[in-house]
Amino acid sequence: MKILVLAGGDSAEREVSLASGRAITKSLQRLGHSVSVIDPASGETLLGQDGKFLLDKDTESSSRIALKPTNTGALAAVLNTDDYNDADIIFLGLHGGTGEDGTIQALLDLAGKKYTGSSMLASAISMNKDIAKRILKAEDILTPDWMLVKRSKYADLQALHSEVLNRFSPPFIVKPNNGGSTVGLTLVKDKQTLADAFRNAFDVTSEVLVEEYIKGREITAAVLDGKVLPLVEIVPANELYDYQCKYTKDESEYICPAKIPGGAARRIQEMAGIAFETIGCSGVARVDFILNDRNKPHFLEVNTLPGMTELSLVPMAAKEAGIGFDDLMQRLCELAIKK
């Protein structure tokens, strides 16, 4: 197949995306596909003359790629390249922002291009935690109690604080409604820190969730084409599974299959399947849960473009199910073609 990988992008998760993009590219090359890679934030190719990913330390030209995007909005230029026009599918190695929220998916739909992962609508719903929670609550999926705060309310901080503190008492979570990688998220332990928490979250987005804090174990479920893969328990090195834990090697412990009571595991698998199906996801998605100390799973969010380095959670769960990294990449390509 001729495949164009998109990686990088201008979201807060750019660096993670470059890491996923590199792993995806190497795998697709091993599989014998004809692969090109473009960063939609710069419009530039990420493959050197030698076919190696430019960020590889062993590649001479590594300095060419800026970790900060150089030319935001360069996506239109991508659509004029031969790499794009000749591609049988677009493999999305992007995370967060317009790469994961349905925007790029809509553009590719309009252009009649096939791509990996979820549709425009499923991507948009999943990226909006408030809407995803509403939809799944209606399907009897337990999710922490929450309140959506729009930026307009932020103008009267005093009123906002009293409204929040009327409904929630610390500890509770304040996080961007459409963020990722735990960027802009705060565990509010006393009300003095509420103003800082809102500032952090509103720095990232214009809609913020205040959410009941569920103390418990962190479980994530990868769903591949509707089938739930073995569960992974994340034991974060920090109090929350934050950005540092997520992307620093050896910071956290990952247990797959998760060693949790059978009833809880079955319920999480059921909930993950319902989430994938109800939201209408395709390809692979990852559903995050917290299992409270009475073994009740609470749904947090769906990730439609989860991390895809060889050490990421979806590849880990796939491996436990007997699906190696290359097999997983091949499956995603085939599912994209079938769409």
Ligand X SMILES: Nc1ncnc2c1ncn2[C@@H]1O[C@H](COP(=O)(O)OP(=O)(O)O)[C@@H](O)[C@H]1O
Closer CB to ligand X, 39 or 211, in the complex: 211
- 247 as an active site residue: the answer is yes
- 266 as an active site residue: the answer is no
For residues 19 and 12, the answer to whether their CB atoms sit within 8 Å is: no
The Cβ-side half-sphere exposure at 79, using a 13 Å CA radius, reads 12
For residues 108 and 98, the answer to whether their CB atoms sit within 8 Å is: no
- 211 as an active site residue: the answer is no
Q: H or E stretch including 227?
A: strand 227-228
Question: Active site residue: 21, 43, 179, 307, which one?
Answer: 307
Residue 130 near which of Mg ion, ligand X, none (CB within 5-8 Å, type-dependent): none
Residue 241 near which of Mg ion, ligand X, none (CB within 5-8 Å, type-dependent): ligand X
Closer CB to Mg ion, 44 or 288, in the complex: 288
- 286 as an active site residue: the answer is yes
Give just the sign of the alpha carbon dihedral 297, 300, 306, 311. negative
Least CB distance to Mg ion at residue 180 (A): 7
- 212 as an active site residue: the answer is no
Give just the sign of the alpha carbon dihedral 178, 181, 184, 187. positive
For residues 42 and 74, the answer to whether their CB atoms sit within 8 Å is: yes
Least CB distance to Mg ion at residue 185 (A): 9
- 102 as an active site residue: the answer is no
For residues 17 and 49, the answer to whether their CB atoms sit within 8 Å is: no
Least CB distance to Mg ion at residue 232 (A): 12
Least CB distance to ligand X at residue 187 (A): 7
Q: Which residues bind ligand X (CB under 6 A)?
A: 144, 173, 175, 179-182, 185, 211-214, 218, 240-241, 288, 290, 300-301
Both tokens assigned to 185 = 């998220």
Least CB distance to ligand X at residue 138 (A): 19
Closer CB to ligand X, 97 or 179, in the complex: 179
Under the binding rule (CB under 5 A), the answer on residue 288 touching Mg ion is yes
212: nearest Cα among 146, 164, 150: 146
Under the binding rule (CB under 5 A), the answer on residue 13 touching Mg ion is no
Residue 116 near which of Mg ion, ligand X, none (CB within 5-8 Å, type-dependent): none
- CA–CA distance from 116 to each of 101, 146, 164, 176, 246 (Å)? 14, 32, 40, 26, 23
- 154 as an active site residue: the answer is no
Residue 327 in 3-state DSSP?
Answer: helix
As annotated, the active-site residues are: 13, 181, 247, 286, 288, 301, 303, 307
Interface with Mg ion (CB under 5 A)? 288
